[in-house]
Chains A and B, each alone.
Chain A
Amino acid sequence: MREREIREGHGSMVSRISRFISDFDNLVPAYALMIACVALIGLLTLPLLTYEPDQIYPKTLNPSSPLNPYDRGGAPFTAAEVHAQYPENAPYIGYVTGYLTPLSRFFAATTQYMGTTIVAHPGGIIDEILYYTRGLDTIVETSILFVAFAVASFLYRRREE
């Protein structure tokens, strides 16, 4: 009870709130409360949201293809059809999507169930987006990984030495 009093403060409304926010243990609850409020608003205004049917990089499924679910067409060293945001900024768009390495062509010819492996192998739509059209995202992302490991290994080494 006493602890609760210290945590929530007493006196006027303003000083109660001040007491609450001045303890950084209450930071996470305060932030979580705000997110919960916005999520509730989102729930209430849900009918206002509409899914835009005209998306960039739309998905097409072709269950009979050995590349399923990532068959986006295109032959090696020709451009496949890719609906990017600014195709004019990427003159060779679609080439990565269409490309299959010899190994993935072997997989595609042999079995129907290796679609994910084939597309994760160099070439394919995901590589097109991650390396080419949205390559900057990937740069930042690998940098984040780099920074995080710098922090972790710095702390680890300092502790263990």
Chain B
Amino acid sequence: MFDLPIEGPALFSIPFGDIVDYASPYTLILFLFAALFTALAILSRPEQHADIIFGEDGVYTGRIPGPENRFQRFMAIACGLAAMGATVSGDIFNFCIFTSMVGLTCIGIVASSGNRHVLNAAFEYGIVTMIAMIPLFGGAAIVAATTGTLSIWELAGGAIAVPFVAKAFLVLGVMGEGMAPFYVAKAEITRAQGAPYILMIHVSSLLIFLRIIEIIITI
């Protein structure tokens, strides 16, 4: 257990061997937020997509077809679970894997869209998530090599110096997987249908971004 003046004291921890998940007030709230939106994705039906046809007065609404809807929901739930895992993970590499799962499921949510424009954006986003493997896993590996541990508890409090490059790499990696600040492709992705599921993309990417900020300040 640790008690740093950053996010409040650790409330409880769940050990899984070397990987100890823990909850502080901060991570607990992030976790609950992810859980809440996962529940919303399970419970709510998608909105009807309204299209205004240019040159006409008509506005047309349409529902997402069944298989697409089921697939999107499945992906959104997977994305929520990955985000929940990332918010409470107490191990840097484990966090990185959860993060890459977030990246992949985010692409999955929009992959069922038939809109060429959305797919183009999703592909660009996908390329970024694949490049992000270098900084993400590279950052974790540099942390392990220079400090001899991956546990956030061991590294917390600045007792062991984590090199600046490793921290910068981790932040960049999470930015790539979650696309946190570069929302260009994401803005296009948002055009896809299925509000509860599309929203999950933003929820998860914000949560992992918030979590990495906490991690790099803590270590």
Verify B101–A147 contact, CB threshold 8 A: yes
- Does A3 sit at the interface, judged by CB under 8 A? no
Q: B17 touches which one: A24, A34, A133 (CB < 8 A)?
A: A133
Interface size on A, residues (CB 8 A): 48
Set of chain B residues within 8 Å of A158, measured between Cβ atoms? 67, 112
Q: Smallest Cβ distance from B158 to chain A, in angstroms?
A: 15
Q: A41 touches which one: B111, B125, B134, B168 (CB < 8 A)?
A: B168
Interface centre among B85, B105, B184 (most CB of A within 10 A): B184
Verify B163–A48 contact, CB threshold 8 A: yes
Verify A21–B17 contact, CB threshold 8 A: no
A22 to B169, alpha carbons, bound, how many Å?
A: 24
Within 8 A of B (CB), among A111-161: 132-137, 140-141, 143-144, 147-148, 150-151, 154-155, 158
- Does A5 sit at the interface, judged by CB under 8 A? no
Q: B93 touches which one: A32, A137, A148 (CB < 8 A)?
A: A137
- Does A89 sit at the interface, judged by CB under 8 A? yes
**In chain B, what residue has the closest Cβ to A138?**
B97
Verify A147–B104 contact, CB threshold 8 A: yes
Verify A155–B78 contact, CB threshold 8 A: no
- Does B131 sit at the interface, judged by CB under 8 A? yes
Q: A35-B131, A133-B18, A134-B19 are in contact. Are A144 and B101 (CB under 8 A)?
A: yes
Task: Please choose the segment from A6-14, A50-58, A61-69, A71-79 that sits at the chain B interface, where 4 or more of its residues have CB less than 8 A away.
Answer: A50-58
Verify B185–A155 contact, CB threshold 8 A: no
Q: Mark B96-112, 1 if CB is under 8 A from A, else 0.
A: 01101100110110011
Set of chain A residues within 8 Å of B169, measured between Cβ atoms? 38, 42
Set of chain A residues within 8 Å of B218, measured between Cβ atoms? none
A154 to B73, alpha carbons, bound, how many Å?
A: 13
Set of chain A residues within 8 Å of B85, measured between Cβ atoms? 140
Verify A144–B104 contact, CB threshold 8 A: yes
Q: B74 touches which one: A38, A41, A150 (CB < 8 A)?
A: A150
Q: B135 touches which one: A22, A24, A35, A154 (CB < 8 A)?
A: A35
Q: Smallest Cβ distance from A23 to chain B, in angstroms?
A: 7
**In chain B, what residue has the closest Cβ to A154?**
B71
Q: B165 touches which one: A24, A27, A41 (CB < 8 A)?
A: A41
A147 to B149, alpha carbons, bound, how many Å?
A: 29
**In chain B, what residue has the closest Cβ to A129?**
B18
Within 8 A of A (CB), among B106-142: 107-108, 111-112, 120-121, 124-125, 127-128, 131-132, 134-135, 142
Verify B82–A140 contact, CB threshold 8 A: yes
Verify B94–A38 contact, CB threshold 8 A: no
Q: B18 touches which one: A26, A38, A86, A147 (CB < 8 A)?
A: A86
Q: Smallest Cβ distance from A94 to chain B, in angstroms?
A: 13
Q: A38-B172, A151-B107, A151-B111 are in contact. Are A28 and B124 (CB under 8 A)?
A: yes
**In chain A, what residue has the closest Cβ to B85?**
A140
Set of chain A residues within 8 Å of B184, measured between Cβ atoms? 21-24, 26-27
The 20 sampled A-B contact pairs (Cβ below 8 Å) are: A24-B120, A24-B121, A24-B124, A27-B184, A28-B128, A38-B172, A45-B163, A52-B147, A54-B148, A85-B18, A85-B149, A85-B150, A132-B17, A137-B93, A144-B101, A147-B101, A147-B105, A147-B108, A148-B104, A150-B108
Mark A residues whose CB is within 8 Å of B: 21-28, 30-32, 34-35, 38, 41-42, 45, 48-56, 84-86, 89-90, 132-137, 140-141, 143-144, 147-148, 150-151, 154-155, 158
